[in-house]
Amino acid sequence: MAGIYIHIPFCKQACSYCDFYFLTRGELKQPFVDALIEEIRHYGNHPISDETIDTIYIGGGTPSLLTPKQLKSIFTALETVFTVKPVEVTLEMNPDDVTEEFLLKIQDLGVDRASMGVQSFDEKLLQFMHRAHDPIEAVDALKLLQKANFPSYTADLIYGNPGQTMEMLGKDIDRLLTFDPPHISAYSLTIEPKTRLGKQVELGRIDPVDDDVVADQFDFLYQKLSSAGVEQYEVSNFAKPGKEAVHNSNYWRHKNYLGLGPSAHSLYWPDADNAQRWKNRSNLKSYLEQDWDGVREDEESLSLSEMAEERLMLGLRTKWGVSKKQLAERYGYTINNKQEEWLKKQQEQGQFTSVDDAIILSKTGLRIADYLIFELISRRL
């Protein structure tokens, strides 16, 4: 089984915080779709095409800027080249693009999970983020999702914005919870250097929010969501039981995935000693030239110990943690005495829990996940 990720590199406008790869030149959408179909065909010769595809994730950028007809041609190409038996097909969309007709058409194509870029219902915050939608469009889009009866959906929220008070965050969360969403991704605003926001911070026009304030906002969000039965299962992801994202969870478990489109990443790990990772260049111009070997960059073979460390980094950020047995069997990685002793101490201090043979970060541990994971891994060196 493997997953497919498709990156649609178009947006209406640049959100102030975003450092994903995208362009605002809509006239290139059809040439891109044509090239994407060729890239899909190209992978018909790759061994990953022997795997059954069980998840498809169409992200970006803004996939909802494509027409249902364009999306249909992409799904048809996938089905021609791969054996597709999906348990989850997700499409990212922005509130300002969504109509009832669009939602019904993409459901007909097999999309059964929508990922809605809400971010906030506060007009000023949406303007600060330079989002293309307003609060009314955000509410309407969620209403339409309910009306279209999507089997599952997720909505994104961003907290830790300059000027965002606890009261404003509370209003955003309460508003979202009135829709009873099965899944919520909540991200703290990150300031990336090459973005509009990053430049404003560099020029001293905006002060980033203090880490303690962001941590308090996270705690507040965590409490509100868990009281509503939407539980944290990964650092930034919350779901009702059974509604956790399958595609993303598979990334954290090192299942194979093929990334298509500019800037998309892939992992192919057919046997123990042979894990390969690569990325498509973040460049639509070169992508449109359809030189599929030339489009790849950062190709690397990863050793088992590199994969094991990565598994710890990804898995410990989830509620499932990482099984020691699996670490030993799949990765040849045993937790040594030094690590065991350290883990025991951390468990006494409440940073880790353990269920059966799994190493799991506690709720407090998850708040400093990166630090604890680094400490655990470095004790093996």
Is 125 a binding residue for ligand SF4 by CB under 6 A? The answer is: no
Nearer to ligand SF4 by Cβ, of 40 and 158: the residue is 158
Of 40-48, 58-66, 232-240, 355-363, the window that binds ligand SF4 (rule: CB under 6 A) is 58-66
Rounded Cα distance, 33 and 40, in Å: 10
Nearer to ligand SF4 by Cβ, of 95 and 315: the residue is 95
Would you mind telling me the total number of residues written for the chain in this entry? Answer: 381
**Environment class of 171 (CB within 10 Å of its CB; exposed 0-12, middle 13-18, buried 19+):** middle
DSSP 8-state secondary structure symbol assigned to residue 261: S
Among 7, 43, 61, 264, binds ligand SF4 (CB under 6 A): 61
At closest approach, how far in Å is the CB of 60 from ligand SF4?
Answer: 6
Is 187 a binding residue for ligand SF4 by CB under 6 A? The answer is: no
**Cβ distance 230 to 181 under 8 Å?**
yes
Of 40-48, 56-64, 69-77, 214-222, the window that binds ligand SF4 (rule: CB under 6 A) is 56-64
Nearer to ligand SF4 by Cβ, of 159 and 333: the residue is 159
Is 284 a binding residue for ligand SF4 by CB under 6 A? The answer is: no
Question: Total number of residues binding ligand SF4 (CB under 6 A)?
Answer: 11
Nearer to ligand SF4 by Cβ, of 185 and 323: the residue is 185
Rounded Cα distance, 57 and 112, in Å: 11
> What are the start-end ranges of the H helices in the chain?
29-42, 68-81, 100-108, 123-128, 135-147, 166-177, 196-202, 211-227, 246-252, 284-288, 304-315, 324-331, 337-348, 363-367, 369-378
Of 43-51, 54-62, 170-178, 277-285, the window that binds ligand SF4 (rule: CB under 6 A) is 54-62
**Cβ distance 217 to 210 under 8 Å?**
no
Is 16 a binding residue for ligand SF4 by CB under 6 A? The answer is: no
Of 33-41, 60-68, 176-184, 211-219, the window that binds ligand SF4 (rule: CB under 6 A) is 60-68
Angle at 88 between CA 325 and CA 86, to 5 degrees: 90
Helix 304-315 with 369-378: angle, nearest 10 deg: 150
Is 95 a binding residue for ligand SF4 by CB under 6 A? The answer is: no
Q: Where do contacts with ligand SF4 occur on this chain (CB under 6 A)?
A: 11, 14-15, 18, 20, 22, 60-62, 94, 117
